[in-house]
Structure 1
Amino acid sequence: MKKFIIRIINVCVIVTALFGYNKVTLAHEQTDAEAKAEADRQNAEIAAQAGESDGSYKDGTYQGTATGFGGDITVEVTIADGKIEDVEILSAEKEDSAYLTMAKDIVPEILEAQSADVDTISGATFSSTGIKNATAQALEEGGAN
């Protein structure tokens, strides 16, 4: 009987620990989701402002920064003859390398569209959104003609 009571107490302790762990995990997920939602909102504002141009840009080299999956992504956009010639990722220190590698596929799409208003890369949504929005910010900085 003693062993049975000890086992019941052990089960209760384990169940309590699991519920506590679950509660903490859910709180962290909610905090992360809120932070990402705020970053997405800010990035969407940047993208919306940059999307107001007519596609003709002032020549020069411009930098933009936006939030990706792991942190800030900084890009350098080169404009020549009023067109986007190159988008180079200058820094993405906290990005997961696998996601960043997939997300880089958005650069040819930006060059082809001559705009940051392109679809994100499936499987690397946050990282490609960071590149897209950093490019939009750089284009906004450079201004459109």
Structure 2
Amino acid sequence: MLKKIALLVVVIFMGCIGRSQKDANTNADSESKVFAVTKTDAEWKAELTEMEYYVLRKAATENPFTSDLLDNNEKGTYVCAGCGTPLFKSETKFDSGTGWPSFYKEIEGNVAYDVDYKIGYARTEEHCATCGGHLGHVFDDGPPPTGKRHCINGAALNFVPDSK
């Protein structure tokens, strides 16, 4: 009898969905979400470079310190490499020392969030709100005024300089 009760308790705990790590901005259903820009896998492969495809469409991570955008200090806007949606302004970029372009603030409404458990614990994944392309992750160890560090794959971004 004791074994049956212990088994029942284990089954109940395994069936529970933990919510303590969920951020109010996360959406667990992003895999099934329909985005404004949708394309077939073949269309994405034809339009993106190999690295852009693997980062944006397969949620890969580029190697640190390899992005041409890491040391870019020009004024302008960082846009999604998949669909051109403006994601980050240059004035919110900072050197985090991590090897990936980092920003303390996104352009509101253009970046969406989800919970990612791929490495064994919850992280907040960022993706383009227009096409769903994987951008990177956001952490709570950034500078003021937000305290956020949007750690973004450079391959997921294109830079558009401000016109003079």
With CA pairs under 8 Å and 6+ residues apart, which has the higher RCO, 1 or 2?
A: 1
TM score, norm. by length of structure 1: 0.34
Higher helix share: 1
| Bigger fraction of residues in strand | 2
TM-score normalised to the size of structure 2? 0.31
